[in-house]
Copies of this chain bind each other. A is one copy, B any other.
Amino acid sequence: MGKLAMKLFRECLPVFQTLSDPHRQDIVLLLHENGAMPVNELTARLSISRPAVSHHLKLLLQGGFITCEQRGKMRYYSLSLEEPVALLRELLSVVEAECPPQSDSISPMEAKR
């Protein structure tokens, strides 16, 4: 119960960490809007350097947010949001199941216990 919530929170840690940077959010959005792209094309549309983009791509890869497909010289990065989305959905469903949507505020009496 609480154990499950704990487990899910921890499993979602990399998801939260990955999405807690605006540049990485931008990359996700760019790939979503325009489909697969190589690093240089992403760099052209962002305001950070290529090594920085490359670094964020690495984190996104490790977090399972994107996949990479090499075609000749080029490496095309494309979104694969299924896994992180599934993790978040699972966490949300557990939290919503355990926490009554009607506020949980604790009465002062109970607080004494």
| Chain A residues packing against B (C-beta within 8 Å) | 2, 5-6, 9-10, 12-13, 16-17, 19-20, 22, 25, 28-29, 32-33, 35-36, 67-71, 74, 76, 78-82, 85, 88-89, 92, 95-96, 98-99, 101, 103-106, 108, 110-113
Contacts and interface: CB of A to CB of B under 8 A. Distances in A.
A68 B9 CA distance: 23
Which of A6, A19, A28 lies at the interface centre, i.e. has the most chain B CB atoms within 10 A of its CB?
A: A19
Contact of A80 (B20, B79, B81, B104): B104
B22 A10 contact: yes
A68 B106 CA distance: 8
A20 B24 CA distance: 14
29 contacts: A2-B32, A5-B29, A9-B25, A10-B22, A10-B25, A12-B19, A13-B20, A13-B25, A16-B17, A20-B20, A35-B111, A36-B106, A67-B111, A69-B105, A69-B106, A69-B111, A71-B111, A78-B104, A80-B103, A81-B103, A81-B104, A82-B99, A82-B103, A82-B105, A85-B95, A85-B96, A88-B88, A89-B92, A92-B92
